[in-house]
Amino acid sequence: MSLVYLLRHGENDVMARRLAGRLPGTHLNRRGQEQAQQVAEKLADAPIRAIFSSPLERAVETAMPLSERLGVPVQVLDGLNEVDYGTWQGRSYRQLERLKLWRQLRVAPSRVRFPGGETLMEVQERAVMAVQWAMTQVGADEGVACFTHGDVVRLVTTWALGLPFDSFRLFQVDTASLTILAFGEGRLQQVRCVNQNLAGDETKTRPKARGLDR
């Protein structure tokens, strides 16, 4: 079987207060850089033959230590990009929580289009296509690493498990965490793990799953 290693990027200073979205210049902080190194150490012996990343800096920077460790270049794959949150991008969570559309998002996310941006169903479609394509770039019994964002991992995992769309928010996806999907004979065979923490025990400090890449 071919393995897809889905990884969320490491920590950055924007994510705690604002919706980073696709803001340029959102880099890993010191803790995020440490997490990226720990990811590389944990996956040093994995059968990874290709590495793909969202085009955003925080994802590429998380992928780079593994790339250097394995001698495998990082290739940017647009389908792994963060959700296009439109005009919400860069706004504080305190501001967003006052909006009627935010409250609708908590109840029925499948019905929401972010103002000037994507729907989450569109995100799931292009992310699943990207992951399926990435998997075809490696052979049987080989792996591909895909560095991406919290909601993208949630949406792909929801698809992989065949769950109702709006259940994606139930998944906790920590920074620098790993989800592994195993494909064989052109279809998903197994979900090997979900949200495996590769960078230490954060269970005492991590927030509850809320989506929107917090």
Q: Which long-range contacts (CB under 8 A, 24 or more apart) does 104-110 make?
A: 108/166, 109/165, 109/166, 109/168, 109/169, 109/211, 110/165, 110/166
Distance between CA atoms of residues 106 and 61, nearest Å: 31
* Position 140 pLDDT exceeds 90: no
Q: How confident is the model at residue 209 (pLDDT cuts 50, 70, 90)?
A: very low
pTM check: above 0.75: yes
- pLDDT one-digit tens code per residue, 41-71: 999 999 999 999 999 999 999 999 999 999 9
Place of tokens 């990811």: 39
- pLDDT one-digit tens code per residue, 81-112: 999 999 999 999 999 999 999 999 989 999 99
Percent of the chain past pLDDT 70, that is, above it, reads 93
CATH topology of domain 2-197: Rossmann fold (3.40.50)
Going from N- to C-terminal start, the domains of the chain cover 2-197
**Averaged over 201-209, what is the pLDDT?**
45
| Predicted pLDDT of residue 205 | 41
